[in-house]
Structure 1
Amino acid sequence: MVTTQPQRPNRSRPLPMLLLALVAALTVMLTPGTAGAQSRIKDIANIEGVRDNMLIGYGLVVGLNGTGDTINNSPFTEQSLIGMLERLGVNVRGDTIRTKNVAAVMVTATLPPFSSQGSRIDVSVAAMADAKNLLGGTLLVTPLLGADGEVYAVAQGAVAVGGFSAQGAAASVTRGVPTNGRIAGGAIVEREIDFALSDLPYLRLSLRNPDFTTAMRTAEAINQQFGRNTAKALDPAAVVIDVPMARKADLVSFIRDVEQLRVQPDQTARVVIDEASGVIVMGENVRISTVAIAQGNLTIRITETPQVSQPGPLSQGGQTTVVPRTNIQVDEGADKKLAVMPSGVSLQELVNNLNALGIGPRDMISILQSIKAAGALQAEIEVM
């Protein structure tokens, strides 16, 4: 009997295939600008002409529980109330009005692009005079005007207030801001803004953060997707798109495809400092040259803890006196160290070195300004 061994299948991959797979993996790992660092054009640019419009109006809020304007101190509230009642057929001119349930307010809203007649938008309400609380109030019919003086929406409804205020004979508590509120869907659009998107000869993208590199990358991404000479960067803030003839019939779908393209935005190295709150924000491209930093302040702390000295219970002519006790501490910053940061230090290394010195945000602001004055900070400093 002759027995044969079953042959194992050959699982080895040809050498050229292994090389191709290795090259492909290295290409993916070494390609700059990964998808995680990229943003959609929709998130970094706006289409010029497709924009919001600000609306404003003046109105009255009624139904307040004695927390409205003081009529004697707010003549415009009294005049508005008299005028409104006269339009409703009630004549109170010449009479004394002492109500505290009415407040004069400014009403603001944002009209989104392509809002159709009859649609609803949110409005914000803010007191103008000495009203203490708008809780429980109702906004009366208020026309909302645009920058051209035309009425584009009419607002009315119950005001929702996030804050509250409570007051007693000897104390009061206020949380939030009870003198402003919001009405969700409180305005009805009465006039549409004429804007024909299909009539535009070309599309113009406006970058929210103008930058030459970002503008060029945006134009290159569009040209790569829709063909050469489709887009051109005019300046750091504008990219012009010549819509292909085959896509002009359906401009909305073309804009959708453009918005979904991904671009890696670039930015200028900048350090933003808010001295009022001590907040420091630094971009990832901030670099510094070789510099040595030392931080130490002379701090003198004086503490007064007076003590009372009383005579014994059987002493004659003794007096109770206050004996001063003064404690003086001097901190010369002897524990502070000198740190040397080499050229090209990154943002993370800069923060780590400054934190290692025990430096707080306030001192860090002064150090960054000093580094910039020395010419070692390769970034812009913007003080808010």
Structure 2
Amino acid sequence: MKKITIFLVLSIFLLLNVFSFSAVRIKDISDFRGARDNQLFGIGLVTGLDGTGDSGEVPSEMLNNMLVNFNINLTSFVETENTALVMVFADIPPFYKEGMRLDVTVAAIGDSDSLENGVLIQTPLYGADNKVYAVAQGPVLTGGTNTRSSSSLQDRYKAVGTIPGGAIIEREIPARIVNENTVTINLKQPDITTSARVANAINSSFSLKIAKAQDPSSVRIEIPEYFQDDVISFLALVEEVEVTPDAKAKIVINERTGTIVLGGNVEIADFTVSYGNFSVSVEKGKISGKPATVANLITALKAAGATPQDIIAIIQSAQPYLYAELVVM
């Protein structure tokens, strides 16, 4: 009886503290443990370049050793400036099968000026276990033509390119998400409150106490007996359960661009600060008659003619009085 009472009290507490955020699907804030991407890489050649390839020298002893490990001998190929030695990268998502395609990123290793209009020669892509999981080949894209019509646009960096769908999977990477009739959800943003809310939402949705928060990042779920022969349907129902995630109040400041991003309604303690021609006072939880929040502080400062740099300086000075984490970029 005591355990049931504690569970009900926790449920009520969690429901009473979700008023300030919108509900989202569990699918959008978490992944199932065991369902993860894997990184692939390889070394290959891009050919068909218009004199923008390598000068013909392997750049380091380390690279030479890598080539030996991959059983690649490029002595006779890198002497032409129409060819470039490249690293090839791809991520293989969970549950991808043989024959499915992956996007590929290609980056010059040597002193090639540009991979534009080049074609990657068939290149095996290896996993961390040194096994081949995919093979990449195809024309390298480096983006559109350079544009000078706006000073805000930057020149393209042509030593890196992409091949959309350029790799074909040759070997599947097994993904095991069920362990002893249980699955575990990993939150993308670990948080104690969110973890507890997820477990509570799942239990409420199925009217069973099958979920338990293990720690701030994971929730363990027992698969009900009537779903043990149809786990995918059960996981689909779990993904659609809605929950209201929690997060620490946070202020992110980008000093280079003068941008301030607020997470939630960040409150401020009483304080007074003098900065240049500005004097700011927060008294009894109010700023000019409004609730003492960072959003209202910024509004008041802008109305008084403060520049983004002024506002950033004042917020940084008031950091000890902010009920939030301040991140400066």
Q: TM class, shorter-chain normalised?
A: 0.7 to 0.9
Structure 2: tracts of 5 or more residues without a match: 1-15, 148-152, 286-290
- Tell me the residue number matched to 1:369: 316
1:264 maps to which of 237, 244, 250: 244
Query: Is the contact between residue 60 and residue 105 of structure 1 (CA under 8 Å) also seen in structure 2?
Result: yes
Q: TM-score, normalised by structure 2?
A: 0.81
TM-aligned CA distance change 1:174 to 1:367, over 3 Å: closer
Secondary structure of the corresponding residue to residue 58 of structure 1: strand
2:277 is the counterpart of 1:340: no
How many residues align structurally? 299
Aligned residues: CA RMSD: 3.1
- Tell me the residue number matched to 2:91: 110
TM-aligned CA distance change 1:143 to 1:345, over 3 Å: same
Q: CA offset at residue 348 of structure 1?
A: 2.4
What does residue range 1-384 of structure 1 map to in structure 2 within 5 Å?
37-72=22-57, 74=59, 92=76, 98-164=79-145, 175-198=155-178, 200-296=180-276, 336-342=277-283, 343=285, 345-372=292-319, 375-384=320-329
Measure the CA separation in 2 of the matches of 1:87 and 1:341.
Answer: 68
Structure 2 residue identity aligned to 1:124: T
TM-aligned CA distance change 1:279 to 1:35, over 3 Å: closer
Looking at CA atoms only, which structure, 1 or 2, has the larger radius of gyration?
1
Q: CA offset at residue 232 of structure 1?
A: 0.7
Secondary structure of the corresponding residue to residue 218 of structure 1: helix
TM-aligned CA distance change 1:269 to 1:174, over 3 Å: closer
Structure 1: tracts of 5 or more residues without a match: 1-30, 167-172, 297-335
Q: CA offset at residue 362 of structure 1?
A: 2.9
Measure the CA separation in 2 of the matches of 1:70 and 1:222.
Answer: 60
Query: Is the contact between residue 265 and residue 295 of structure 2 (CA under 8 Å) also seen in structure 1?
Result: no
Secondary structure of the corresponding residue to residue 43 of structure 1: helix
Structure 1 residue identity aligned to 2:33: E
**Can you list the C-alpha shifts for 1:33-71, whole angstroms capped at 9, x where unaligned?**
579811110001111111111111111100001111111
**Can you list the C-alpha shifts for 1:120-177, whole angstroms capped at 9, x where unaligned?**
11101111222111111010111111122221111111111105569xxxxxx97322
Measure the CA separation in 2 of the matches of 1:137 and 1:357.
Answer: 56
Secondary structure of the corresponding residue to residue 215 of structure 1: helix
Query: Is the contact between residue 165 and residue 178 of structure 1 (CA under 8 Å) also seen in structure 2?
Result: no
Q: TM-score, normalised by structure 1?
A: 0.70
Higher relative contact order structure (alpha carbons within 8 Å, sequence separation ≥ 6): 2
Query: Is the contact between residue 142 and residue 161 of structure 2 (CA under 8 Å) also seen in structure 1?
Result: yes
Measure the CA separation in 1 of the matches of 2:58 and 2:98.
Answer: 39
